[in-house]
A and B are shown apart, each in its own frame.
Chain A
Amino acid sequence: MRNDIAAAVDAALAEVAAASSAASLAGLSGSVVGKKSPLGQLKSKLGSIGDIDERKALGQALNDAMRAVEAAIATKRAECESAELEAQMASEGVDLTERIAPSRRGRTHLVTQATQRLEDVFVGLGFQVAEGPEVESDFYNFEALNMPKSHPARSMWDTLFVESAEPGSVVLRTHTSPVQIRVMQEWPPPIYAVMPGRVFRRDTPDATHMPVFHQIEGLVIDRNITFRDLAGTIEAFTKAFFGADFTSRLRPSYFPFTEPSAEFDIRRANGSWIELGGCGMVHPNVLRAGGLDPEEWSGFAFGFGIDRMAKERHSIDDIREMYTNDLRFLRQFS
């Protein structure tokens, strides 16, 4: 019987050695160590051996034999699996530079991109964002902004009027400033708000003008707000938005709704100045129109164009390009 065991082990090991794949080895374990395998059959004959010591010794020998075969299978199987994975990897190379165009991501409009960037900077500076209607009453667009009817400064804006029961009383807002009044009426002070939005002027389109464009307006109302706070806030914005090597300056100007009024310019690192927008201390009459007592509250406001920011950021020659809605143009700006 010992010889039979040795022969069966030899045969089994030969079969294992001959196996060429992990899959065939999986099948093999049944046929070389299973119940019906030669070793299995020898095991079933153990019962017929009378001598107990002999039976024990043979049983031990059989178990050792089977463990050896199983170990050989496991080793061989690991070898095969490893070889198979190597072969798989060797055979399935892909040229990663061979890329099919991915399905295209869209783009937000340049004006939206600029608006969001501005909003983010102002939120970081402690401002909230307010919105208002684009079609406005004469009251909010002019009168409440210290421009009573027939005020000559109204001619600073070429106004588009909308049909209404009372002619001349409904306008497309010429600036975002009417939102100042709405915010003052609706929000309890202190107010730190920016108001981006679409505005309208009766301007013939050209490379730098559109009748429909966008502005952002800022309003701060608090106790003891001074002109110095205005200059400091403009400076903080300049550095946060454009970069630490930019500075700002204010110079006197005129707007009916602020006094003192100023234009603000920013200076690039190379020393050149860019005119950016207008600002000033909120005029007492405007505070009153917003329902606030100018002896208790003071504040400042500022505003500038958004489209121009986008135009300059992306070196766009003609602002009309931004409004053709040509996807070939829009898709350039991620």
Chain B
Amino acid sequence: MKVLLSWLNEFADFGDDVETLADEMTALGMPVEETIAAGTKVPGVVVAQVLRTERHPDAEKVHRVYLTTDGSNELHVWCGAFNMKAGDKIPLATLGTKMPDGREILRRGILGIDSEGMCCSAKELELNDDHGGILILPADLPLGVDVFDALGVTTDTIFDLDLTRNRPDCWGHMGVARDLAARLRRPFGAEVNGSATHDAHTLPLAIVDDAACGRFTATVVKNIRVTQSPQWLQDRIARSGMRPINNIVDASNYVMLERNQPTHAYDLRSVESGFRVRFAKAGETLVTLDGTARELHAADVVIANGDDIAVGLGGVMGGLDSEVVESTTAIALEVAWFPADTVLESAARHGLRSEASARFERGADPWGLESAAWRFIEILRLTCPGLEVHGGPQTTRNASCPEPTVDVTLRLAQVERILGVSLTARQAADLIEPIGFRCSGEGSAITVSIPSWRPDSSTEIDVIEEIARHYGYETLGKSVPNSTVHGRLSSIQQRRRLVHGVLVEGGWSEAMPNPFLDPAASRLAGVDDSAQLALVNPLVAEESVLRVSLRPGLLRSVAYNQSHRVDDIHLYEVGHVYPRGSGSLPDEEEMLCVMSVDDSDGELAALRSWSLLVDALGFGAQVDTKSTPGGYHPGRSATLRRGKQVIGAMGEISPVVLKRHGIVGRVSCLELSLSVVLREEPKPVAARAVSRFPSSDIDLAFVAPESVSAADLHRALKSAAGSLAVSLELFDVYRGKGVAEGSRSLAYRLRLQAPDRTLTDDEVAGIRQKCIAAAEKSGAKLR
């Protein structure tokens, strides 16, 4: 919302300290995004008259304009706009003029013929946004004088406010001024008076459907003529972001920009039969002011004339047939109040969000209709001094109209409880009465009457907010709560940080792929997508389903990095997946996925993270190598289980999947449900005394067929070694020369130690034999 300093100053004396005013508006909750100086003169632009125009055979896009600025001497200018004719008066930027955009007007030639200046559009002079052609000036302006002086252009300051949606009253200058005057303790006045000049010209009014309209007024004004508005008024409208049209439309817009109250003027001829306000009938159509024929909906509010013919779409836009035209000499002015939601829906349905509908949507003041009507008449009288007011606003209302005030009980103890400052009834009243919140009563609770222009306010807490605003948020001061709560991370959060720490130390970097996927992405990654949920209103089809696995996202990240020649790709992600659940919400689960691009014949690097995490977090799972998780290499993968519960998977990604993603080489992956493993906080380990007796190491290398899993062999050795084993580690895996095809060598180091004695050679030899026997039993042979 753009508000003008000159306009605000009509309601209270705010002075001209622009910076302070901007700070105060910001402190009231009307933040000033920008302060713009308007109406700055451009010295050197004068009133000129077109003598004649002429085409040049070799210039297609420009023509030659001959002008005079003194009635005798002829000037020649090339011009790219063609909207002027001989006799028109236009602004001419003379040689040497510095335009607002920084250009300097120089003697410039086309086809060897010089231009002695430039014809200007309104936009080029920053008068308004109209760049549709050269500005045609009023015919009565004297030649050669400064255009800005001749037009009576005013200077002003525009504040561009970023208003919140709870303050509809601030969508007019009057509301902003009321708030600002209250804060600055300046007297505020917005009274409008008017009286009928002629006997009433009565129009029958009827609100047929209660829910369609709360209050409706019509005022008949005669003896008017359609003309241009005064320059200062046009300036205000233009600087507020609208286009000046003619005195009738401008008066309507002026009242709206001032009082947040839309009005609509009908040519009296089309509504002589009166007004009927109702919902649209089946099949009803209306051609609106923008020339579009609209099929109306049963929930659209229709303004019909007494013959029940639609003449306007209530709160949104008037009809074309009843529009004020050049021949109009009498109007019926509609000023009405429509419920916010009906206008909101109507405007949305027709894709027609007008300045009027935007104001009704936010909430207008149902009890400001008459003053808006009188203000319209005041403004119109500037161009139509002889206008006749035939009876003043005629009003009808019904039960759907809000009351003029809403009464709320305000407990002063509650003010202190919420704001932390103690106020007397008088102090509270002094803060909010200037914005129209009338206070009555004394003692610990007072009654506050909230005015109808503040539809956002209806409860005690709303009033407390107003008190806070006008007391000043900064003045309220600062304190710190006296808390008995101690800050900490939960066990889950600490363990999650441990996961990040372990992976980062291990060389993996955290990625954050998009949790929205292409519908086919899961399937292409070999992930079961049967529980995949779709977005109802995705931005793009490629991001239209919710992921059920982190793997598709990381595969894409791996492919991206590989295609950008990044070496050493080790990525992980901690994030949620959202498979369809049994209830209304998905079975959301926090997952970890670790992915590494492996050396062609090296280890499965991502699996290193499994050992690191098991060690750091102190949890376990069965590594089931018999069942291949979807999308993994059948011979190089395992499902991670806790009994029947699957808590993850690990192994090499299937070459088929890699090929689909354009990934070269081998990729290993670990997936783990953090929702499961973070939740289990291991009990603190009870210390065991370290033996002071020497330990003995046995190194054993076995040749085992590929069908024998290392985990099984490990388990067999461990159980054979018995209670004297303090550690058992696989320290080498070898395939190749010297080892039969289909088998590999697995070398273990077993450390034995007793807590109470030195082991004898015989004891060590005995355990060694047991281990060899156990290994052979599980299918491995000592190498």
Residue-wise, chain B 421-460 has the 8 Å CB interface mask toward A (1 for contact) of: 1000000000000000000000000000000000000010
Q: Which chain B positions have C-beta within 8 A of A107?
A: 504, 509-510
Contact assessment for A236 and B566 in the assembled complex, using a CB-CB cutoff below 8 Å? no
- The residues in A between 176 and 212 inclusive whose CB is less than 8 angstroms from any CB of B are 190-192, 198, 202, 204, 211-212
* A235 engages B478 (CB within 8 Å): yes
Given known contacts A125-B487, A190-B483, A106 and B566 CB-to-CB distance under 8 angstroms: no
Neighbour of B568 across the interface among A104, A124, A211, CB < 8 A? A104
Q: Do residues B461 and A326 form an inter-chain contact, with CB atoms below 8 A? A: no
Q: Which of A103, A222, A235, A259 contacts B462 (CB 8 A)?
A: A259
Query: Which residues does chain A contribute within 8 Å of B481, judged by CB atoms?
Result: 192, 220, 222, 225, 229, 232-233
The reply to whether B465 and A261 contact each other, CB–CB distance below 8 Å, is: yes
Q: Is A133 an interface residue (CB 8 A)?
A: yes
**A206 smallest CB distance to B (angstroms):** 12
- A323 and B476: CB pair below 8 A? no
Q: For residue A254, which residues in chain B have a CB less than 8 angstroms away from its CB?
A: 29, 164-167
In the complex, B187 has a CB within 8 A of chain A = no
A169 to B420, CA, bound (A): 39
Render A315-331 as a binary contact track against B, CB cut-off 8 A, 1 for contact. 00000001111111011
Report how far A124 CA is from B489 CA in the complex, Å.
10
How far, in angstroms, from A108 to B500 measured CA to CA in the complex? 7
Q: Is residue B404 contacting chain A, with contact meaning CB distance below 8 A?
A: no
Report if B584 contacts A (CB, 8 A). yes
- The binding surface of chain A is classed by DSSP as mixed
Which residues of B lie under 8 Å from residue A217 when comparing CB positions? Answer: none
CB proximity of A120 to chain B, nearest CB, Å: 9
CB contacts (< 8 Å) of A166 on chain B: these are 584
Interface size on A, residues (CB 8 A): 85
Interface residue? A116 (CB, 8 A): yes
Which chain B positions have C-beta within 8 A of A90? none
Given contacts A126-B485, A134-B576, A220-B481, are A327 and B566 in contact (CB under 8 A)? yes
A123, B513: Cβ atoms under 8 Å?
no
Contacts of B29 in A (CB 8 A): 251-254
Q: A106-B506, A160-B535, A227-B418 are in contact. Are A135 and B165 (CB under 8 A)?
A: no
Whether, in the assembled complex, B658 has its beta carbon less than 8 Å from a beta carbon of chain A, the answer is no
Q: Which residues of A contact B535 (CB under 8 A)?
A: 160-163, 172
User: Are A249's CB and B474's CB within 8 A?
Assistant: yes
- Tell me the chain B residues, 534-562 only, with Cβ under 8 Å from chain A: 534-539, 543, 546, 557, 560-561
Contact indicator B507/A104 (Cβ below 8 Å): yes
State A120–B284 Cα separation when bound (angstroms): 64
- Encode B467-480 as 1/0 by CB contact (under 8 A) with A: 01100011011111
Interface centre among B416, B500, B575 (most CB of A within 10 A): B500
- Please determine whether B465 and A260 come into contact, CB atoms closer than 8 angstroms: yes
Interface status of B737 (Cβ within 8 A of chain A): no
- Find out whether the CB atom of B539 lies under 8 angstroms from the CB atom of A233: no
Mask, B326-341, CB within 8 Å of A = 1, is: 0000000000000011
**Chain B residues with CB below 8 A from A301, complex form:** none
Name the distance in Å between A263's Cβ and chain B's nearest Cβ: 8
Given known contacts A233-B481, A260-B465, A137 and B511 CB-to-CB distance under 8 angstroms: no
Complex Cα–Cα for A7 and B759 (A): 52
CB <8 Å contact, A106 and B483: no
Q: Does A150 make an interface contact (CB < 8 A)?
A: yes
Q: Which residue from A227, A250, A251, A325 sits with its C-beta under 8 Å from B560?
A: A325
**Nearest neighbor of A226 in chain B, beta-carbon distance:** B420
Cα(A168)–Cα(B29), bound, Å: 33
CA distance A276 to B516 in the complex (A): 28
Residues of B contacting A162 with CB < 8 Å? 533-536, 546, 578, 586
Given known contacts A161-B537, A212-B515, A224 and B477 CB-to-CB distance under 8 angstroms: no
* Binary CB contact string for chain B from 567 to 599 against chain A (1 if under 8 A, 0 otherwise): 011111011101000001110100000000000
Residues of chain A lying within 8 A (CB to CB) of residue B533: 162-163
A152 with B473, Cβ < 8 A, contacts A105-B504, A323-B512 known: no
* A164: B residues at CB distance < 8 A: 584
CB pair B497 A116 closer than 8 Å:
yes
Q: Decide yes or no: A129 and B165 within 8 Å by CB, A260-B469, A261-B465, A326-B564 being known contacts.
A: no
Taking the complex as formed, is B144 at the interface, i.e. its CB lies under 8 A from any CB of chain A? no
Among residues 299 to 357 in chain B, which have CB atoms less than 8 Å away from a CB atom of chain A?
Answer: 340-341, 344
A106 vs B569: C-alpha distance when bound (angstroms): 10
**CA of A107 to CA of B487, assembled, Å:** 26
Is residue B376 within 8 Å, beta carbon to beta carbon, of the partner chain? no
Residues of A close to B539: CB separation below 8 A: 202, 204, 211
The yes or no answer to A215 lying at the interface (CB within 8 A) is no
Alpha-carbon distance between A297 and B28 when the two chains are bound, in angstroms: 27
Which residues of B have CB within 8 Å of A46?
A: none
With A227-B420, A253-B29 as given contacts, are A262 and B473 in contact (CB-CB < 8 Å)? yes
Contact of B290 with A by CB under 8 A? no
Contact (A236, B480) CB under 8 Å given A127-B487, A327-B561: yes
B588 and A106 form a contact (CB under 8 A):
no
Chain B residue numbers with a CB within 8 Å of A109 are 509-512
CA distance A125 to B505 in the complex (A): 29
Residue of A nearest to B348 (CB): A155
* A173: min CB distance to chain B, Å: 11
Q: Do A128 and B165 contact each other (CB < 8 Å), given the known contacts A228-B477, A249-B474?
A: no
A135 vs B547: C-alpha distance when bound (angstroms): 12
Partner of B483 from the list A126, A129, A249 (CB cut-off 8 Å) is A126
A81 to chain B, nearest CB (A): 29
Q: Which residues of A contact B536 (CB under 8 A)?
A: 160-163, 167-168
Interface assignment of B484: CB less than 8 Å from any CB of chain A: yes
Write out the residue numbers on chain A whose beta carbons fall within 8 Å of the beta carbon of B578.
134-135, 162
A190 to B485, CA, bound (A): 7
B503: CB under 8 A from chain A? yes
Tell me, yes or no, whether A174 is within 8 Å of chain B by CB: no
Query: Which of B485, B571, B585 is in CB contact (< 8 Å) with A192?
Result: B485
A231 within 8 A of B: yes
State whether the Cβ of B508 lies closer than 8 Å to any Cβ in chain A: yes
Please report the C-alpha to C-alpha distance between residue A178 and residue B609 in the assembled complex, in whole angstroms.
Answer: 35
Smallest beta-carbon distance B589→chain A, Å: 10
Whether A251 lies near B510 (C-beta < 8 A) is no
B416 surroundings in chain A (CB, below 8 A): 226
In the complex, are the beta carbons of B534 and A324 less than 8 A apart? no
Closest chain A CB from B216 CB (angstroms):
23
- Set of chain A residues within 8 Å of B534, measured between Cβ atoms: 162-163
Does B31 count as interface, using CB distance less than 8 angstroms?
A: yes
B504 touches A106 (CB 8 A): yes
Residues of B within 8 A of A228 (CB): 419-421, 476-479
Query: How far is A235 from B536 in the complex, measured between Cα atoms in Å?
Result: 41
Contacts of A325 in B (CB 8 A): 511-513, 557, 560-561, 571
Q: Does B486 contact A (CB under 8 A)?
A: yes
Shortest distance from the beta carbon of A260 to any chain B beta carbon, whole Å:
4
Across the interface, A250 reaches (CB within 8 A) one of B473, B538, B543, namely: B473
**A142 contacts the other chain (CB 8 A):** no
Q: Is B478 touching A231 in the complex (CB atoms < 8 A)?
A: yes
Partner of B510, one of A112, A165, A262, A298: A112
Alpha-carbon distance between A136 and B515 when the two chains are bound, in angstroms: 15
Contacts of B570 in A (CB 8 A): 104, 106
B464 at the interface (CB under 8 A from A): yes
Q: Are A133 and B588 in contact (CB under 8 A)?
A: yes
Residues of B within 8 A of A220 (CB): 481, 483
Is B235 on the interface with A (CB-CB < 8 A)?
no
Show 18 residue pairs from A and B whose CB-CB distance is below 8 angstroms, ordered by the A residue. Answer: A104-B507, A104-B568, A108-B509, A111-B512, A112-B500, A162-B535, A163-B535, A166-B584, A169-B584, A211-B516, A212-B514, A231-B473, A232-B481, A251-B29, A260-B464, A283-B461, A323-B512, A328-B564
Further contacts, 10 of them, CB under 8 A, given A152-B165, A170-B585, A326-B566: A106-B510, A106-B570, A127-B485, A161-B537, A163-B533, A220-B481, A226-B417, A252-B465, A262-B473, A325-B511
State the 10 A-B residue pairs at the shortest beta-carbon distance, nearest first: A252-B29, A226-B420, A254-B164, A228-B420, A232-B478, A161-B536, A325-B511, A123-B487, A260-B465, A325-B557
